[in-house]
Amino acid sequence: MILTGSDIVIQSIIDEGVDLVFGYPGGQVINLYDSLYKYKDQIKHVLTCHEQGASHAADGYARATGKVGVCIATSGPGATNLVTGIATAYMDSIPLVAITGNVPMNLLGKDSFQEVDITGITMPITKHNYIVKDISKLQAVINEAFYIAKEGRPGPVLIDIPKNIQIEKTEYKKIKPWKIERKEFTIRDKKIQEAIELINNAKNPFIYVGGGAIAADASEEVIALAEKINSPICNSLMARGVIPSDHELYTGMIGMHGTKASNISATKCDLFMALGARFSDRVITNRENLSNAKIIHIDVDAAEINKNIKVDLSIIGDLKSVLQRLLPNVNEAKNQEWLDSMKNLKSLSAYKKSKGEELTPEYFFEELNSLDPGNLIISTEVGQHQMWTAQHYHFKKPRTFITSGGLGTMGFGLGAAIGAQFARPECKVINIAGDGSFMMNCQEIATAVQNKLPIVQVIMNNNVLGMVRQWQTLFFEGRYSNTTLDRQTDLVKLAEAFGAKGYRVNKKQELRGILKEALASKTPVLIDYRIDNNKKVFPMVAPGAPINQIICEEDL
């Protein structure tokens, strides 16, 4: 069958199982969009308000499903508007394929209108990228790109297609997607046996689980290991939901805003097991913090081993496969004294309970947890509200917390919520934002309204850039340089102008009824939740400090 390049692109991504893409048309992808029109019975396109929104929506779709998210943009500013979204996916290991158009090949390198070297720009933030200069290779490139995005440690791939390649014609023949297999060939039996011995000899084991457990679909195996050896277990921000919040062995998040139970247990354990996690600067990068422990690091990416912390034993390979080999051979353990000390630490609070009529983030999540219908997916922007969400919402399942961890992208959450809501229409998606983050991509409310998505947009509105202000309070003697917003925007009227419902919460007694209405709504809802601008995220560890040097609210 002879097809144009643009038809081959759309037919090829359909062959990869894609039925939904996000994007924004332009001159150098007009042929691709013509092909999308031809294939509209097989693939849906969601028009966002901005290309960045499209990239975040594709990312949210991927996080909510484990499938590859796809976004499309034109050349020049269209392509560069994808960069933040691509970098976000790269830092959090999210499978994404970004397709961009470019000027015809005879105009490349001539500073043509809307020409940009997008492959050069994105080289450091993609697993791989391509510029297709031969139409006979186009189909194979797409086939390979989807494999690379999903294989091993997932990540984004970019395909740049000059306009003349979209117009030219060549033979198309359906190709089966490359089979994705778990990375097991790197797993060494000797290493497995050494890990078993370390685990069986441990008296005070501690498990630190990261986002790799979600990518590997290894939640059941992680919990099974913790239960078999009675090990306390904590998570990074990216692994929220791997273990239910109410599990008796769960100690909470670890790191800069981790719980006392997690941070102190890490420094007192004799075996520290990092499962599908990297040792980031927001968690732990100082080996002295773990001086009492042997460290086992299991990860699919060899580049992460010994990158930030030198470990005693590493196993490189798919986490689910590694744990399935370990589990039958580790001994059951009680570790009662160790568990009792962990329970005592869990009882220590790091923040003051709200009193009277003061609206607080903790109160919001108390109400949301009590009304939780059991089908919620929570996305966030980046800042204080993100940490409050991770600390106080009771996550129960993987792929229900969608947030930008590594890059910390303000403006991420609403686009990601749109992608997640399309991906899982049986769920209710709530995006938690600060007023600073919300304004970065608030226009995507229009996308939610246009597509009748029942997203609930919650704004923890404190009229400041809360996380930066918190640092200014603690480390810069209260010099609030450009973090006080005091914008005059009426967020309820803004929501209504976009066609959504808007509510404002000023008093505690208003919240429950508004939340009930929002959770029942079939259309987008915005809740303007007013909190004090001095409210801070606790506990907190100062940058570079040992993780057991914890700042709590009473310390102020």
CATH code, 322: 3.40.50.1220
Q: Which strands form 96-102's sheet, in the order they lie side by side?
A: 44-47, 20-23, 69-73, 96-102, 156-162, 128-131
Distance linking the first and last C-alpha atoms of the chain: 72
The CA-CA-CA angle for residues 125, 129, 131, to 5°, reads: 135
Is residue 103 included in any domain, yes or no?
A: yes
Q: 67, 127, 163, 320: which one is catalytic?
A: 163
- Do 23 and 162 belong together in one domain? yes
- From residue 382, how far is each of 34, 77, 193 by CA, in Å? 37, 24, 41
- Do 377 and 475 belong together in one domain? yes
- Do 204 and 126 belong together in one domain? no
**Among 237, 234, 286, 236, which residue's Cα sits nearest to residue 265?**
234
Q: CB 375: neighbour CB atoms within 10 A? A: 13
51 is catalytic: yes
Q: 51, 115, 304, 381: which one is catalytic?
A: 51
Is residue 389 included in any domain, yes or no?
A: yes
Under a CB-based contact definition with an 8 Å cutoff, are residues 455 and 418 in contact?
A: yes
**Structural domain of residue 48, as residue ranges?**
2-171
Q: How much is the pTM?
A: 0.96
Is residue 68 included in any domain, yes or no?
A: yes
Output the pLDDT for position 444: 98
Output the pLDDT for position 361: 96
- Do 371 and 503 belong together in one domain? yes
Is residue 549 included in any domain, yes or no?
A: no
Q: Per the structure, how many domains does the chain have?
A: 3
- Do 135 and 216 belong together in one domain? no
CA–CA separation, 413 vs 261, rounded Å? 29
Mean pLDDT by 10 residues, the chain (556 residues): 97 98 98 98 98 98 98 98 98 98 93 95 98 97 98 98 98 93 95 98 98 98 98 97 97 95 95 97 87 95 95 98 97 94 82 76 97 97 98 97 97 98 98 97 98 98 96 95 95 98 97 98 98 94 90 79
Output the pLDDT for position 142: 98
Is residue 555 included in any domain, yes or no?
A: no
- Do 327 and 384 belong together in one domain? no
Cα 89–chain centre separation: 8
Q: What is the CATH number of the domain that holds 43?
A: 3.40.50.970
Is residue 275 included in any domain, yes or no?
A: yes
Where does a domain end: 316, 346, 376? 346
The bridge status of strand 540-541 relative to strand 550-551 is antiparallel
Where does a domain end: 290, 314, 346? 346
Output the pLDDT for position 349: 67
Q: 40, 42, 113, 203: which one is catalytic?
A: 113
Q: 105, 114, 268, 307: which one is catalytic?
A: 114
Amino acid, res. 189: D
Q: 11, 467, 498, 538: which one is catalytic?
A: 467
91 is catalytic: no
CA–CA separation, 238 vs 372, rounded Å? 21
- Do 282 and 141 belong together in one domain? no
CA–CA separation, 332 vs 345, rounded Å? 24
Where does a domain end: 317, 346, 375? 346
- Do 372 and 438 belong together in one domain? yes
173 is catalytic: no
Q: Which of the 8 DSSP states describes residue 354?
A: P
Contacts made by residues 123-129, CB under 8 angstroms, sequence distance 24+: 125/83, 125/86, 125/87, 125/90, 125/156, 126/86, 126/90, 126/155, 126/156, 126/157, 126/158, 127/90, 127/155, 127/156, 127/157, 128/157, 129/157, 129/158, 129/159, 129/160
- Per-residue buried b or exposed e for 254-267, using 16+ beta carbons within 10 Å of the residue's own CB: bbbbbbbbbbbbbb
- Do 295 and 416 belong together in one domain? no
- Do 485 and 373 belong together in one domain? yes
- Do 161 and 279 belong together in one domain? no
- Do 294 and 150 belong together in one domain? no
Under a CB-based contact definition with an 8 Å cutoff, are residues 420 and 241 in contact?
A: no
114 is catalytic: yes
